[in-house]
Amino acid sequence: MSAATGWRSRTENADGTVRVDDDSLPWLRWRLADDIHRRLYHDIGAEVSPGVADGPGDYPIGTPHCRQGDRPLGVLEPMDQWLDGVTPPLGGWSEFRRWSFDRLEVASWPTRRHLGCFHRRGKARYDLMFQLCVALQAGSPASPAGPIWAVDGSGRAATDMITMLDGLDVVVPADVPARFLAVRCCGRPLAALRTDGPVYTHHGGVEAGELFVAGAGVDDLAVAVRRLARHEH
Ligand SMILES: [Zn+2]
Ligand SMILES: [Zn+2]
């Protein structure tokens, strides 16, 4: 299943209308986050962060790696809350996206003067890593719609994830915005994805950013990571 097809089949019905049911709810939010990254990550550094805590909490949106500072841009709530008490257009994804972006006031986010910002550099890959995180989560049979996390050095992140990175001599800096996304499978850490390209598992790391440039697709990367982690289903 390609990533693009995956988004569609998990968030749209066969006739192209937006699918709203228990299975689709996490995917609707992940797809909106992906759309925000596609339009605004490299431009202004907008990152939709799954947060460091377990559970289906809010996804704050900010610009943690922008030289203009971390601007709080809004919050992408869990979709059941996002859709509660409103009547969204569900006729098609682009219409739903425009409605959602309008609620987040995305059009007001862009600013100028980003020359030299990390998010403008070639190795800035939060957008790709977020997609890879979702692709890895999608391959989990136990909880295909389970949570994904950001990992920072604050001590709030899952300790077994930090332990895995420690074992690989990978530093998780304290006092800086989170630089890792993480996904678990079958109740244990599967991979931690650093937002400039490398992915770490209990059995070593792989340079996902370089493989992507060499032509690998997101689903190829997910397969490679699972193989490296010796955790295939
Ligand atoms: Zn910037
Ligand atoms: Zn598993």
pLDDT-based confidence at residue 1 (cuts at 50, 70, 90): very low
Mean pLDDT of 205-232: 95
For residue 233, report the distance from its CA to the centre of ligand 2, in Å: 7
For residue 55, report the distance from its CA to the centre of ligand 2, in Å: 18
Q: Among all ligands shown, which has an atom nearest to the Cα of 69?
A: 1
Burial environment of residue 102 by CB neighbours within 10 A (0 to 12, 13 to 18, 19 or more): exposed
Report the half-sphere exposure of 219 (CA within 13 A, side-chain side): 9
Does 25 score more than 60 pLDDT? yes
From the list 150, 140, 151, the residue with the least C-alpha distance to 226 is 140
pLDDT in tens, 149-202: 777 665 555 678 888 988 999 888 777 777 888 888 888 889 999 999 999 999
For residue 128, report the distance from its CA to the centre of ligand 1, in Å: 18
Q: Considering the entire predicted model, what is its pTM?
A: 0.91
For residue 140, report the distance from its CA to the centre of ligand 1, in Å: 35
Q: Among all ligands shown, which has an atom nearest to the Cα of 124?
A: 1
Instruction: Name residue, tokens 């909490």.
Output: 57
CA distances from 77 to 15, 18, 55, 80, 215 (A): 26, 18, 12, 8, 34
| Euclidean distance between CA atoms 72 and 101, whole angstroms | 15
| Tokens found for residue 95 | 């219409």
For residue 61, report the distance from its CA to the centre of ligand 1, in Å: 14
